[in-house]
Amino acid sequence: MNQEWSVGQSVYQTEGIVHVAQGEGISLNCSYKGTVYALFWYIQHPGQPPKLFLSTYDPQADGVLLGFKAEQKTDKKDEGTFNMEKTASQLNDSAVYFCAMSDTANNPGWAQEVNQPGSTRAFEGQPHTLSCSLSSESSDVIQWYWQFPGEGLRYIAGAIPGHPGEGADPKSTVNVGQDKKSSTLVLHQVKLADAAVYYCALSDTVCQGGTIPVQKLFSVSEQRRS
């Protein structure tokens, strides 16, 4: 996945379903290219938002307490790995895992919260606006993602203050408020296929499938006008 706001950075991880018998070891690969300050693994259980699981800066993260470990290894300048392992798997380890990276020391996702409302209804063929707010002012990229049941996160678009971003699928525009504490995703013309869970993320990280700091679920359903 290429991201418009992430120049010269990329993260590659294990794709598809990994089948592991209970009690066997788990190994998920994650490699990166680009300047990196911190690396992360996120976990997502069905019907729940992604949650920080492992990182290079938190030795007491949830994943560590559950027996997982990941060690950053540098292969060459600006390239390396952050593979995640567990010696004996358990049934409750079944989930979707995302690998992510950050290239700055002041990742706002560590301290800020992104707040979004719950479900909303939109009418087919009409424009619809989704919004989110930040706990404090930020000049960093605000990015939007969407997700269908049983699938990974899909990047829509990102924006910075004064520079809107355009999304191709779904056709949309991302704006950041003048107060630098809010963002909107404007769906140009809602389709039934746009029914999904939408995420607003404040971060300068990149990852395969998306990157999620602290945030809430935001779902959209459509209704036909009678």
pLDDT (tens digit, 9 = 90+) per residue, 115-143? 676 677 888 889 999 988 877 777 677 88
**pLDDT above 70 coverage of the chain, percent:** 75
pLDDT reported for residue 22? 86
Work out the angle at residue 155's Cα, subtended by the Cα atoms of residues 153 and 33, and round it to the nearest 5 degrees: 95
Structural domain boundaries in the chain? 10-105, 109-223
* Matching fold, domains 10-105 and 109-223: yes
Question: Which of the four pLDDT bands, split at 50, 70 and 90, describes residue 88?
Answer: very high
Third-level CATH fold of 10-105:
Immunoglobulin-like (2.60.40)
CATH superfamily of 109-223: Immunoglobulins (2.60.40.10)
Q: Where are the alpha helices (DSSP H) in the chain?
A: 62-65
Q: Please indicate, yes or no, whether the overall pTM of this predicted structure exceeds 0.85.
A: no
Collect all residues with Cβ–Cβ distance below 8 Å to 87 and sequence separation of at least 6: 25, 67
